[in-house]
Amino acid sequence: MEAHLTGDLEAKHSAAKQGRSNNKLTQDVWGKPKKCVSLEGCHEASAFRNELRAAREACQKDAEAFDEILFVVERLGARLSGFIGNLGQYEHCLRKLAERSRLAADFSGVFKVVREARNEALHQGAVARHLAARAVELALILEDALATQLGTIEYLMVQEPVVAHHWQTLGAVRRIMLVNAFSYLPFNWDGQWFFLADYLIATFWQRRLVPDRGKALATPLGVVLRRDHASKDLLLLPADENQCGKHLPPYEAAGRMKEGRPLLVVDPDQVDADKKSRLIGLISPADLL
């Protein structure tokens, strides 16, 4: 009986000792990772950057949607840290990433505000707007840091961009540009790429849609161009010099953006049913900022 009790005590002592050792190990790992994990190449960095951008745009439209940014930041932090914890525990690895950015000097202050506000139950009004502004700043820092790992515009461009079609009415094209705040909309006419520019649409709208505005709104773009050849010069900007391949370095892409127009990223080895080069992306000055 005594031997049995002694064995139990030794087992408990050993378990307690092992538990203290495990707790210390856990505290080291979960409190602050000794080594941050690297992202798996350009594809993963680009994916996180796109998620941050989408969340930031949502937040800028609705201040109370700031949590969209926080969700992405937390996923990125967990990925870099190698464990699931809380936002504060991810700071070390997020800071290491942010140091790659030219905006990194603002990281500490911005992160502190976001972290302290993260656990609040409710954010509305002025408080939500303040937190949203800080969350947007944090997203911009991390986006810029991730962009430093992307060597070609393939990973920076907007994939599958919105384009105008000849069967869409002028009213539909106008609505697309207004809703999405597009300055330029790609349009292919007779196998050649053009831009529909907001200022040209505005000029055409004011000159041509009076007095029969309703009829013009319902007129397909292709019908307008075929019916009045002068409309082509009034509505379309040639995009021949604003095309490039996906392997172009960002600094070269920036130098080729004439008058602030975006670049159409095309694949010359692929053509669609209309025998036009397949449009695989679009990159604007904002994508390179």
Residue 32: predicted pLDDT: 61
Same domain, 132 and 179: no
Same domain, 244 and 135: no
- Residue 32 has, within 13 A of its CA and on its CB side, a CA count of 4
**Of 150, 183, 214, which residue sits at a domain end?**
150
Mean pLDDT (whole number) for 25-43? 69
Same domain, 59 and 162: no
Same domain, 86 and 119: yes
**Of 133, 150, 167, which residue sits at a domain end?**
150
Question: Shortest CA distance to 257 belongs to which of 271, 235, 239?
Answer: 239
- Computed over every residue of the chain, the mean pLDDT equals 82
Q: How many domains does the chain have?
A: 2
Residue 22: predicted pLDDT: 42
Provide the residue range defining the domain that includes 200.
Answer: 155-288
Strand order in the sheet with 184-189: 184-189, 192-197, 236-238
Q: What is the DSSP string of 147-204?
A: HTT--SGGGTSEES---B-TTSBHHHHHHHHHHHT-SEEEEEETTEEEEEEHHHHHHH
Q: Is the pLDDT score of 223 beyond 80?
A: yes
- Coil vs helix vs strand at 265: strand
Mean pLDDT (whole number) for 188-214? 79
Q: Is the pLDDT score of 102 beyond 90?
A: no
Q: Is the pLDDT score of 14 beyond 60?
A: no
Looking at residue 240, its amino acid is D
**Model's pTM, two decimal places?**
0.74
Same domain, 138 and 229: no
Residue 140: predicted pLDDT: 94
Residue 10 forms part of a structural domain: no
**Of 150, 184, 200, which residue sits at a domain end?**
150
CB-CB contact of 204 with 231 (8 Å): yes
Q: Which residue has the tokens 């092992």?
A: 18
Residue 9 forms part of a structural domain: no
Same domain, 115 and 69: yes
CB-CB contact of 281 with 246 (8 Å): yes
